[in-house]
Each structure stands twice: as C-alpha cells, then as structure tokens.
Amino acid sequence: MDQEHILVVDDDEGLLHLVKMRLSAMGFSVTSATTGQEAVGEAKKKMFDLAITDLRLRGEDGLDVTEELLRIHPGLPVIILTAHGSIPNAVEAMQRGAFGYLTKPFDDKELKATIEKALSQQRMSREIKRLKSLVKELYGLENVVARSPAMQRLFQQVAQVADSDATILLFGETGTGKEVMARVIHTNSRRSKGPFVALNCAAIPETLFESELFGHVKGAFTSAHGSKRGLFQMANGGTLFLDEIGEMPLSMQVKLLRAVQEREIREVGSETTSKVDVRIIAATNKDLGEAVKNGSFRNDLYYRISVVPLFIPPLRDRRDDIPLLAQHFLKLSVQRANKEVKGFTPAALHRLIVNPWHGNVRELENAVEKAVVMSRQDMLTPDLLPSVGVSPETPLKPLTEAKEEFERTYLKNVLQLTGGNISRAAQFAGRYRADFYKMLRKYGLHPSMTKGKPDAELEELEDEADLTEAER
C-alpha cells in the first residue's frame, strides 16, 4: 500500500516535532505546519489522507482551520488536539465536520488507535471509489472489447436505450456475454449508482422462487425463522438482471408479470404491497417465441420483457473481435497466473481466428487461460490451444478463396492488434515492411481503418514497396 500522508498543525514546535517523530516511526509521511495559514497553503498544494490540528493556535481558531481544510478536501478526516478544559469546543469541532479529538497529554497507543480509526474510514472510501472506477473502466461503452461491425451496431443500440427505463431482453447463444452486456447497460444508465442484482433463473428451485424474488416475512412458512429481503428490494433504485428467464416456472411468470407491470411486490406471508423502482433486464438462450407457441412461456410476459430485444451475435459471426478478446483475456490470465507471456505466435492467432468457438466468448476465455497456465515460453503456440474442427454449419470453400479470405482477415486483425503501426504489424507477421504493405494494398486495407499512422511512414512505404528484395 502507498505511504499515507498526514498534515499536523500546532504552534507548539516542541509538541509538533514530537508528534511528527511518532507518526514517522509509525510509517506515515508527515507534513508539519505551525500556523493555520501555513496548513491551508499545504492543503492547496497536495492531497492528505488525514489532518491533525490543535484547537488553540496562536492568533487563530482551530475550528476555522478545520472548516477551511474540509472545504479544500471534502471528506478529509481531521483529528482535533485539545486540553481537558476545551472538550466542549472539541465536540463543537466534530459537529462542524471533524472526525474526532485527542486530549493532551496522549500516548502513542491512543494516538495510533485514533489515527487508525480515522484512516480506516478514509481507506474504505478510497476503495469504494476505486471499485466504482474499475466498474466504469470495465463496463463503459468506450472500453468494451469489440471492433466487429455486428458488435458496433449492438453498442449503438445499447447507447440509445441504456439511459431509459425500458425493459430489455438479451438473447443469444450460451457464452456470448449476456450478463456482461447487462452490466454495460446498467453502468451506462442513470441507474449506475444503484445496485446491479443478478439471478440465474435456472438455478432456483420452484418452491423458493417467490421468496427469492419478493422476500418473505417471519413465519411465512416452516423454515422462515426471520424476515428476508427479496431481490426486487435489493435492486431498488438499480437493475435486476434475470438470466435464463426461459427457465422460470409458469407459476412464477404471472407473479413476475404483475411486479413488472405494477412496480410493486408482496412479500410471501405479507398482506401488504410495497412499491419498488427496478429496471428489468432479462436474458435467454432459448427461442421464447417458440416457447410461447408450445405453452411453456406466457405470451403477456414475453411482450412485457421484450420491449427492447437485443441480439448478441455468436463469436463465429464476429471474428474481427477474436484477436482483441484474446489479447484482453491474455492480459487478465497473465496477472492471475503471475507469468510473463507477451502474446500469440502468428500460427496461434490463426488457430484462434478459424476456431468455430461453439462455447463463444466463455470458451475463448477459458482456452486462453489454460494456454497461459501451461505455457513455458513468452509466446503462446498453437499446440496450447484447442484443435480446430470443421463446423458442419460452415460449407467448405475453394482453397484459393479460403486462403484469400483468411489472409485479408489476418492482416486486418494484425493491424488492429498493433494499433495501425505497420512496422510492428509486419514484424508480428514475420514479413518485410514493404512486402506487408503490398499485401495491405492487395486487399484494399489501410492503417487508417484503426488509429492511423503519420503520412510520412506511408509515403516511405509507398516507395519501399516498389523495391526488389535485392534492393532492400
């Protein structure tokens, strides 16, 4: 953990020096000030994790100094140093925003205990902010790992509906990332500060469904020894994600329908209803339209939850995303396994791109993680990845056509992987820059399709591409 910074303010230079020595011995970085004005100046220059100030400063009021420090750094814990006779003033300081107080004289044990109590609150606040930032980083639309046209169209739709309260139905094959997409929608909505609560409908026994969703009161049934909040209550002000909703028993579907329509619930065993403010996002890998026809899913519930239907395409239909996803999962796996694996060999990347990935993104993630764990080199090789079988859904093409299709896809993906840097892309592909650029021209590809590169490099390559191998 980074060293924590404490500001100490006292006009008694002897006591100030003593406190500074004690805090330094405890492992803190300490900045001292003998006046409130000096302390305020230090607070304007840098961030502190904690401030300790004497209540009585020469010619200044410690309460005013405290308020000024809190104005500059809202939420900063401030500990007041005071004599026994000034405890009422210290209590007033706490009412005006100070964290607590210490009466003089105090020992190291008291000082450390009070500081640790104040800093624990600050640490928790920082951790919450860090986690919120991490969630935003993971699930912000701009950070989602996807470049394919199919996913870009999906994200355009998500951007349009995220901030509404419309009920959304996500449908797609198992492993396509429906829960991740639900979190993306939640994170980019006005409900992002509220809770995100997920339920896998396939994992709940029918007898427990109602209690799980709506909660129960004490004595509602034999084992109800106490009351319990339901998921609707837990998700109040946020989003409730109902995964595999096609597995929900018919007996529960009518009760869910009422909750979605009326925005109110009734706990099991209760005679009263309560209002809830919850956005519903449902997901399924089943054909709910067919389920409606065969009577296993209610028609009225289907239309209620599919106000905005969003299809998540399988990975085989968005192969442009595979290198980026693989690189993303590689980074995560390397951190977990504590290994130094830099990337994929061209042959390994080829195997990833042509694999049918029947298990979709989830299968790809697992395959990359396994490869990292088993790898003994700094680059992942094809032998560490799943063998490629021919999908019966994919008709075989003539060899020349298949080769050209693969080359174009491969070049495009290498460009994306290297951010449009032709030199790095050529090195990755094991080709001369000029030869690599010729191949790009052959397939009508250009670095500008990614982040682009300076015109000077392109002009240089235009000339270089016309040189013979002997001239190079």
Per the model's pLDDT, the better-predicted residue between 212 and 138 turns out to be 212
User: How much is the average pLDDT of 288-305?
Assistant: 92
pLDDT at 191: 92
Query: Residue 51 and residue 53: Cα distance in Å, rounded?
Result: 6
| Residue at 84 is within a domain | yes
Helix (H) or strand (E) holding 117: helix 108-139
Contact 410, 350 (CB under 8 A): yes
Q: Per-residue confidence at 254, pLDDT binned at 50, 70, 90?
A: very high
Contact 412, 320 (CB under 8 A): yes
| Residue at 263 is within a domain | yes
- Residue 414's nearest CA partner among 429, 400, 394 is 429
Query: Residue 63 and residue 73: Cα distance in Å, rounded?
Result: 15
Number of structural domains (the chain) is 4
User: How much is the average pLDDT of 284-307?
Assistant: 92
| Residue at 143 is within a domain | no
Contact 155, 321 (CB under 8 A): no
Contact 251, 208 (CB under 8 A): no
pLDDT at 147: 73
Whole-model pTM over 0.95: no
Count CA atoms within 13 Å of residue 145 on its CB side.
20
| Residue at 138 is within a domain | no
297 and 185 within one domain? yes
pLDDT at 59: 76
Q: Is 217 exposed, middle or buried (0-12, 13-18, 19+ CB in 10 A)?
A: middle
Q: In what order do the strands lie in the sheet with 78-82?
A: 29-33, 5-9, 50-54, 78-82, 100-103
pLDDT at 392: 45
* Domain extent for 169: 163-313
The tokens for 102 are 């210490």
Domain boundary among 117, 132, 147: 132
Q: Per-residue confidence at 352, pLDDT binned at 50, 70, 90?
A: very high
Q: In what order do the strands lie in the sheet with 308-311?
A: 196-200, 239-243, 279-284, 168-171, 308-311
Query: Residue 389 and residue 403: Cα distance in Å, rounded?
Result: 17
Domain boundary among 267, 286, 313: 313
pLDDT at 3: 78
DSSP 8-state assignment for residue 391 = P
Q: Per-residue confidence at 125, pLDDT binned at 50, 70, 90?
A: low
298 and 184 within one domain? yes
309 and 184 within one domain? yes
The tokens for 148 are 């394919």
| Residue at 148 is within a domain | no
